[in-house]
Each structure stands twice: as structure tokens, then as C-alpha cells.
Amino acid sequence: MTRTIHLSLDINGGRYDLDVEPRVTLLDALREHLALTGTKKGCDQGQCGACTCHVDGKRVLSCLTLAAQVEGRQVTTIEGIAAENGELHPVQAAFVEHDAFQCGYCTPGQIMSAVACIREGHAGSDEEIREYMSGNLCRCGAYNNIVAAVREAAEMA
Amino acid sequence: MTIMEPRKHGDASDGMVGGRQTRFEGNLKVTGGATYALEYPIEGVAHAVLLQSTIPAGRVTSVDTSKAKAAPGVLLILTPDDDLGLMTASDWYGNRPENQPYHPLPREVSFNGQSIVAVIAESREQALEAAKLICVTYAQTPAVASIDDPKAGEGKVMGNLTIGWGDAEAALAAAPIRIEGEYSTPREYHVAMEPHGLTVKWDGDQLTVWEPSQWSHGMARSYSEWFGIPYENVRLISPFIGGGFGSKGAALAYSAVAAFAAKKLGRPVKLAVTRPQNFTSYGGRAATRQKIKLGATEDGVLQAIVHRGASETSTYMDYPEQTGAATPILYKVENFSSQHRVVPVNTVTPGALRGPGKNPSAFGIESAMEELAYKLGMDPLELRLKNYADHDYQSGKPWSTRRLREALTEGAAAFGWSKRSHEPRSMRDGNQLVGWGIGCGTFPVIQAPSEAMIRILGNGRVEVVSGAIDMGQGTYTILAQTVAEVFGIPVDQVEVHLGDSRLPGSAIAGGSMLAGSILGAVHKAATAARDELIGLALSDEKSPLRDTGANTLTFSGGRIAVPRDQGPSLSLPELMAALGRDEIETRRNTLPDGATPQEHHQAWTTMAKVQGPTMGEFSMHSWCAHFAEVRVDEDFGTVRVSRIVSAFDCGRLYNPRLVESQWRGGIIMGIGQALLEEGLVDQRNGRTVNNNMGDYLVPTNADVSDIQVISVGIPDYGASALGGKGVGEVGIVGVAPAIANAVFHATGKRVRDLPITLEKLI
């Protein structure tokens, strides 16, 4: 397969044009073609959550989404949630304050999931947060602190 | 060296050593700005993928690459037919076989899932597609699938792991109370969130490698030896690493393949090891088996421990997972015997995974101790305190510090252990059986020489530079705190540069040895830089502090001043400007004075200079006691860990916020080990069946509830220059037996083979 398709993607409010093979995933488009490497590849098979992005405000696994599927939709990645002046999103700030990560590799996916989890109204209790954040694995084991961070950010929201 | 007394800190913004400073590189990690190995924009990069063997043992007789070669975008295919011209590199200790060729894509297959072919193409998608078109033909030979394979046999005794004192067999025979158990743990895997892989680029005979690494200098050495180029020609870059847990301390076969391909093609190559391939590209924790016999008096005084253990290894290397590692040092016992065997099977050579040796070892002895407690009708806490080891009975040496008693008593108080009802199945909440259990853990204090550089810049910023690694333990943060304290400046005035083999050498980020080792060097270098600055400030004719008559200066609150004096004080940039200096640079290491360049190279690139826990006058270890509560559904046998309280003696904590995170991480990995994690082997062909994150289960957020961690340590200046002991490894050690003991207390069923899955309880 050598045919390429032209895509024009709306990512973090900006327009990105690229020519890729139709089988290129959104994750690989971000990381390999657009230098947006904040979104992480942990398994490439939809099991770990490290690649979580938002498409039209809803969380998706970008490793199981083709880049071609998101044309005409709004994609948000970890690079796009802080304020324009660089001020951290409340979830990002809460992750730093609560030490909700160690190696940092699952962190962008955790934060994108957390932002959506709060927006979905699924951050009402620690138990609910645990359940709705369970699609994002953290092998360093920062789960207690992730729950604390999401809870604090939800209370501020 | 001046040792600063530890001070009490409570303020979250406190940047001094021992303060709860937030993670130094935190903003980079939460914004996606931290760059990991495969994320560097490299012009013209080609993509490599691996093809792995589908038989457990035999020989590759042919590789048909004709269709793949014709596929779009394919640049190069490497097979066992290609002689890459590489030479075998040294082992970790620096021993190197002479003139031994190295074949990272071997013709002889030793395990299922061994990399045998690499395809390099313009894009990863093209390489993957072409790899599917390759047809490998094998001549298969008989194989041993796992330690459970009847053909595996008894294995071979590791002489250096046969230890004993007293007369254990006689004392056991004479003991009025005896218990005996056989404990087993399965293959377990690191599953770091960042998969392995690398990008390599040659410029002439200069090699740059972007690869996640727990040890930049040691891995750079492997590349130089494989390719026969000077060590100085290799630069390995790894400022951020997405978890390691023991898996990223060595350059591996695929690393050599990628570097060769880049050389052959004359362009950079990126090789991403897929998640399934990660399960066989390097070894996880070996499966283990242990038989333990304990003899005691009727009032619970241990008389003898007899331990016989075994672990899987590969057919081409003896790697022991030391099941007798914790057994001899947790309790006072006058008669002891331990032996460990390795059983070769057709697997990739197992490796170090968090708490190597100590972890499965503690599962054995800590399960057995509770079995003894129930046989005696004694509270398991009381049994442990009764047999408290006053010194190290194995080495005969006194402990440097051992606050395990405090860990047990303070942990028990925080947990509410006194409210326990002793009989199994005697605590219940509706249809849930509630159980409580204890597991103790330990990990030795290991030290290695390290080096660091300090640069005071004209603008007043201070740089600390080291090849050390931060894989999430907090190296950036504690180095910044150490320098901030020495210079009396805020942490944000410090810059930290890490993770590059061109930078000063460092202990590996493994074996819990990095913090204690590197901080000694950083503190020494920073103090020397400060002393040099003091010397200049008091002697340089341009210095406003010259005529004060002082013989030293204080560094505090960002100001440099004469002690107890109302005279002039200057900020760091003001003093540097007055002195007319752009930079003051010092470099210090913790090798003996007069070490030769060869000794430096050996110290940074091998394990030859590593100091073990009993090489001095003391026996030095971290200690912990875990208290676990489980709730077992009486009908379905499902186990939930409802809370854990763990108390640790890790000496002085350089940053309690980060230490607590590491402890929790170890405990959570221990929950996985107790209840979820198990590498499954197809006994027909030695294949790792569950080689992915959906089938090899690691704990999720919903699997983890409240965990309370407590520090009971005191500074141990025998263990390290600044008083800390190791933190990262010990957290997992003892968790699995605490949970297994709690499950027994809840259900009356003793599960001796991990993980504790529901079919073992119904």
C-alpha cells in the first residue's frame, strides 16, 4: 500500500495538513507526522489508555482511531489543554500538587481521561473516580494520588 | 565533608533536603513536554520492526524474504544469514569473552518469541506489512516449556547461594513444633508503560542512541564493544524514561540490530518493540518454587529454618531469582540452611524486576511464619516480635540501623491490629469474609561510586550535571534540593541535567542504589564549589566581602554574608559579577583519591565497584512491615484488598512526598503480584500466551483502595553520605504474603501459589 491521502485536521484549535497512508492511526499521525508527542503509545492495541485524546470533547483511544476518521472533528491533545498564557489546566496543576505520576508516561492519557471524567460527571466520589479512571493504566502505581488530584480538580470545576 | 543535620520540614514548597518539594520536572510531564526516547525529531529516519520465532527451540533453516523485499518502502531485511560483524560485549561486571562474535539475530532459537528477523522500511506501517510476507522455516528440536514441564528436571545448584549455619536439620528434627510449606510464584513482567525501543544515528564512527535507560554509561559501553569503536564515540541520551522496574538497564539484541541497520543504511533508524514483543525481548521475574520448613519451641521461639528454592532460567545463561535472599535476615535463628537451584527452560533469560530475590523470598518466609503462628495459636505480630533479629545472623555483623520493630508496632497501631480476632473466618461484613495479614520486607543497601559536576553561572543559577537517570523516582528533584540547600537558594534557581552518557558517571538507577550514591557525589561537588566561591569572595580584591575579616561565609535565603554580622550581603549573581566570573565549575566523585582513568571507566560502565550491604562493618538494609485487609466474597471467592497500612524504615527521606509515591507504587505492584499477575506459558510450544496488557493483568485504579504509608526510619550515615537507605525496591517486598496471610485469615484457605485467583478459593 503506497497510496496516500490528504488530511486536514483540527487539533488543539489549529489546522494541520498532512499526507499519510489511510491506515495511519491518529496516534501515529500525532507522534510521527505532526511532532505532537505528548500523546503516548503504551500498547498500540487499546489496552492501556496512554494514548487517550479528546475527539469532539469525548475521550477516545487514538491508537484505535484512524487519522482519517477525525477529519472535520475537533481533536484535543495534552498539548492543548493549558491556557494560552501557559497556565496549567486545573487537572494538570492538581496532578503536580498531588504527585499523581512518577515516570510521566501514562500521565498525558490520565489527564485527558480525568478532564473528560469530570466533564462527564463521573467524579462524584473516590469510588466513581476509580471506576471511570480504570481505562488508564499506571504501572508506577500513582492511583491514590490520581484519585486525589481528580477529586480536587472536580471540586474546583 | 560537611553533613547537614536533617531538619523538620512541613511546607510543601520547601526545597531543602528532606522537604516535600513537588516534582522538579512536573510541569514538563503534565503538559506533554517531557521528551521520551522515540519522540526526538530525527531527519530521514527509517523504521525497523522485528519478527520473532514461533518455535521454542531449534534452528532457522531458511528465511524467504522474496515477497517482503518487493513490498513498498522496504529498505533492508536482516536475517540469521547476515553476519553483522559484531563482537560480544562485557557482562555487567565488565567480564568479556575474547574474540566471540555476537549474533543478535541468531540461527539457533532458544525460546519462543526470540527476535530472528528485522525489516527496515520507509515507514513503520510498510515495515509491518512487509514482515507479514516473510516465511521462516525451522528445524525444531525438543524443548522444555517451563519449570512445570516434567522434562525440566531438578536443575543445578548455585553454589554461591548455598548458605547455612548451626545444624538446621538436627534442630528441625528436635523442634516440638514444625511446619512445612511449598510456595510458588509465576513468571511476572515489568510492563513499564513506555515500551522498549530506540532511535540510532551514525555520524561517521560517532554513534548517538536515544534509548530509555536506567544506566546511560553501562549501556553506552555495550554499543562501543559490539561495534569495536571507542567508548567516547557513543552517546546515549535518556533524560526521561517511561518506567523501567529493572528492565531498562542493559542494551539488548534489538538495540544492536537497530544500530547495525542504521550503519548499513547510512541513515537513522527507529525501532519500536511492540507491546507483545516486550514480553520476550527481555526477561521478567523468573517463576520460583520454594520449600520451607520451620521448627520452633512450643512458645514460638524459632529453632531452625530449612529452605530449598528454585527458579527458572534460560538454556543459555544461569540467572537466579534468589528465593533465599530474605529468608536468613528477617528473624533470629541459630540453625539455618538454604539452597537455590536454577532450572533451565526455553525462555528468554529472566531479569531483575522490582525487589529481585527478596520479593519471592519474602513470599515464602512470611507465609511460613504465619502458618507457624496459626499452628502455635499465637498472634502473628507477637511471633514476629518474639523472634526479632538483634543482629544479622548470616554475616554476624550488627545492623547499621534496623527499625523493623518500630515498623511492626507503629504499623500495627495505625492499622488497628489489636482489634483482630485470631480465628480464621471469624471476621465478617455481610457476605464478605474479612481477613488481616502481615508481611515483612527488606532490601539491602547497595552503593556505587558516582560523579557529579556543579556549575555556578554568572546569572546566579546553579547547574548540577550527572549521567544519572530519573525514571520517576525523583532524581531531578532531590538533586535540585541538595544543591539548593548547599547554596541557600530556591530550587527554581537550580538547573538539573541528567540522562546522557557524556555527562559524569553514576550508579545505575536500580537496586535502590542511585539516590544514596549520586547524592554523595552531588553534595561533595556542590560543597566544593561553594568552598571555592567562599575562597574567592574572601581573597579576591574585587570582592566586597574581602575586607570583612571573616574566615567563612553563610549561604541562606539567596544571600551570601558574613556569619553573625550586619555587614554586606550579596546575592549569587551579585557576587559572581563582583568577582568578574562567568562560571565556576567543579567536578567531584566518590572514588578513592588517586583513582586511575581505567578505574573511572570501570566504575561508571560496570558493576565491578558496587558495594554490597555487608562489605563494611555493618549489615545495612531497608525494612518494612505491611498490614493488609482483604474482603473475600464468600460465594464467588473474589478478593478485594480493602486497605493497607505499611510502615518503612528507609533511613532519612530526601523528599517524603516522592518517597511515599514510590512506596505506594511498590505496594500496588505487590497487589498485582498477589492477585493478578501471571505469565502463562503454552506447554506445547513455550509461547507466552498472555503477552499483552489486556491478558497479563496489572492493577487498575479500581483495584486499589486506601493505602497508608508511615516512615519510622532514622538517618543512617553508615548507609549513605546523607543518611538515606534504599526506597524503591523494598515497597513491594512482603506485600504478597501480607495479602495471602489476610486471605487465609478471612477464609481459612492457605494459598501457596500466586496469584490468588478465585478458583483457588472456591
- The residue whose grid cell reads 496512554 is A50
Residues 109-128 of A with CB under 8 A from B: 111
* pLDDT of amino acid A1: 53
Q: Phi/psi zone of residue A67: left (φ > 0), alpha (ψ -120 to 50 degrees), beta? A: alpha
* pLDDT value of position B762: 87
CA torsion angle B587 B589 B594 B597 (round to 10): -80
Are B304 and B255 members of one domain? Answer: no
Same domain, B226 and B103: yes
Residues in contact with B566: Cβ distance below 8 Å, sequence separation at least 6, in sequence order: none
Q: Is the pLDDT of residue B545 over 60?
A: yes
Cell numbers given for A110: 490520565
A147 in B contact zone (CB under 8 Å): yes
Over residues B384-400, the mean pLDDT reads 98
3-state secondary structure of B345: coil
Confidence label for A2 from pLDDT (cuts 50, 70 and 90): low
Residues B594 and B667 in one domain: no
| B678 carries an active-site annotation | no
Q: Which amino acid is at B724?
A: G
- Mean pLDDT of the B23-37 span: 98
Please tell me which residue of chain A has the smallest CA distance to B29: A104
Note whether B254 and B323 are same-domain residues.
Answer: no
Give tens-digit pLDDT for B198-228. 999 999 999 999 999 999 999 999 999 999 9
**Who among A42, A47, A104 is closest to B34 (CB)?**
A104
Segment B585-614 shows an average pLDDT of 95
Look at residues B605, B638, B664 and tell me which one is the last residue of a structural domain. Answer: B605
B248 part of a folded domain: yes
CATH number at residue B127: 3.90.1170.50
Q: What is the pLDDT of residues A63-83, one digit of tens each?
A: 999 999 999 999 999 999 999
Euclidean distance between CA atoms A75 and A14, whole angstroms: 10
Which of chain B's residues have a Cβ under 8 Å away from the Cβ of A103?
192-194, 240-244, 471-472
For residues B454 and B422, membership in a common domain is answered with no
Question: How does residue B508 score in pLDDT terms, banded at 50, 70 and 90?
Answer: very high
Q: Looking at chain B, which residue has its C-alpha nearest residue A126? A: B705
Cis upstream peptide for B755 (omega within 30°): yes
pLDDT in tens, B154-170: 999 999 999 999 999 99
Q: Is residue B183 part of a domain?
A: no
The count of structural domains within chain B is: 3
Mean pLDDT over B392-412 rounds to: 98
| B206-210 vs B197-203, strand pairing mode | antiparallel
Per-residue model confidence (pLDDT) at position B364: 98
Sequence-separated (6 or more) residues with CB below 8 Å from residue B84? B78, B102, B103, B104, B105, B256, B257, B260
B366 & B400 share domain: yes
Closest alpha carbon to B38 in A24, A56, A82, A42: A42
Q: What are phi and psi of B672, to 5 degrees?
A: -60, -45
Looking at the fold, whether B517 and B392 belong to one and the same domain comes out as: no
User: Could you count the other beta carbons within 10 Å of the beta carbon of residue B164?
Assistant: 17
Provide the shortest C-alpha distance from residue B184 to chain A (in Å).
23
Span B45-49, mean pLDDT?
Answer: 98
Q: Where are the alpha helices (DSSP H) in chain A?
A: 26-28, 90-97, 107-119, 126-132, 143-156
B548 confidence band (pLDDT: 50, 70, 90): confident
DSSP character at residue A60: E
CATH number, domain with residue B588: 3.30.365.10
A contacts of B39 (beta carbons < 8 Å): 31, 37
The values of phi and psi at residue B630, to 5°, are -120, 155
Query: Cα-atom radius of gyration of chain B, to the nearest Å?
Result: 27
Over range B532-547, report the average pLDDT.
94
Rounded to the nearest angstrom, the gap between the alpha carbon of residue B569 and the centroid of all alpha carbons in its chain is 45
CA distance A146 to B20: 18
B500: cell is 546522557
pLDDT at B13: 43
User: Quick count: other Cβ atoms within 10 Å of Cβ B59?
Assistant: 15
Give the CA dihedral B714, B719, B725, B730, nearest 10 degrees: -120
* Among the listed residues B744, B753, B733, B752, the one whose alpha carbon sits nearest the alpha carbon of residue B325: B733
Q: So what's the pLDDT on residue B6? A: 41
Q: Which three cell numbers stand for residue A148?
A: 486525589
Residue B277 domain-assigned (yes or no): no
**Domain identity same for B87 and B211:** yes
- pLDDT (tens digit per residue) in B553-582: 999 999 999 998 778 899 999 999 999 999
Residue A39, pLDDT > 60, answer: yes
Question: Please, what is the Cα angle at B308 between B306 and B309, to 5 degrees?
Answer: 140
Contact between B632 and A109 under an 8 Å Cβ cutoff? The reply is no
CA angle (A76, A80, A81) in 5-degree steps: 100
Q: Provide the pLDDT confidence category of residue B747 given band limits of 50, 70 and 90.
A: very high
- My answer on whether B459 and B432 are in the same domain is no
Q: Do A147 and B124 touch (CB under 8 A)?
A: no
The A residues from 60 to 99 touching B (CB cutoff 8 Å) are 77-79, 82, 88, 92-93, 95-97, 99
Whether B302 and B420 share a structural domain: yes
Q: Is the pLDDT at B335 greater than 60, yes or no?
A: yes
Distance from C-alpha of B373 to C-alpha of B188, rounded to nearest angstrom: 29
Q: Which of B272, B295, B319 is the last residue of a domain?
A: B272
Measured CA to CA, the distance from residue B401 to residue B619 in angstroms comes to 8
* Residues ≥6 apart with Cβ < 8 Å to B608: B93, B94, B602
Tell me which residue range forms the domain holding B457.
26-34+447-605
Cell representation of residue A63: 491508537
A·B CB contacts under 8 A: 184
In a domain, B243, yes or no: yes
Contact B243 A103 (CB under 8 A): yes
CA torsion through residues B228, B229, B230, B233, sign: negative
Nearest-CA distance from A122 to chain B in Å? Answer: 14
Q: Is B80 contained in some domain?
A: yes
Cβ atoms of B290 and B307 closer than 8 Å = yes
Nearest to B655, CA basis, from B6, B2, B25: B6
Q: Which of A113, A81, A68 minimizes the C-alpha distance to A13?
A: A81
Proportion of chain B above pLDDT 90, given as a percent: 96
pLDDT above 50: residue B8: no
Q: Which of A32, A37, A140 sits opposite B243 (nearest CB)?
A: A140
As a whole number, mean pLDDT of residues B529-554 equals: 93
Asked if residue B331 and residue B375 are part of one domain, the reply reads yes
**Nine cell digits for residue B556:** 541562606
Q: Please give the helix or strand (H or E) that residue B519 lies within, else none.
A: helix B514-539
In a domain, B178, yes or no: no
Strand bridging mode B706-711 / B639-649: parallel
Of the candidates B437, B389, B384, B392, the residue with the CA atom closest to the CA atom of residue B408: B384
Average pLDDT along chain B:
96
CA distance B518 to B523: 8
Structural domains for chain A: 5-80 (3.10.20.30), 90-156 (1.10.150.120)
In Å, the largest CA–CA distance within chain B is 86
Amino acid in position B463 = E
**What integer pLDDT is reported at residue B14 of this predicted model?**
56
CB contact under 8 A, A103 and B193: yes
Residue B149, pLDDT above cutoff 50: yes
Please check whether residue B544 touches A, CB under 8 A: no
Q: Which pLDDT score, from 0 to 100, does residue B3 have?
A: 40
DSSP string across B572-591? HHHHHHHHT-SEEEEEEESS
Looking from the CA of B262 toward its CB, the CA atoms found within 13 Å total 30
Q: Is residue B177 part of a domain?
A: no
Rounded to the nearest angstrom, the gap between the alpha carbon of residue B739 and the centroid of all alpha carbons in its chain is 22
- What are the chain A neighbours of B705 within 8 Å (beta carbons)? 130
Domain edge (last residue) among B564, B581, B605: B605
Evaluate whether residue B16 is within a structural domain.
Answer: no
Give the minimum alpha-carbon distance from A72 to chain B in angstroms, rounded to a whole number: 24
Cβ proximity of B74 and B133 under 8 Å = no
Q: What is the pLDDT of residues B51-109, one digit of tens each?
A: 999 999 999 999 999 999 999 999 999 999 999 999 999 998 999 999 999 999 999 99
H-helix or E-strand containing B514?
A: helix B514-539
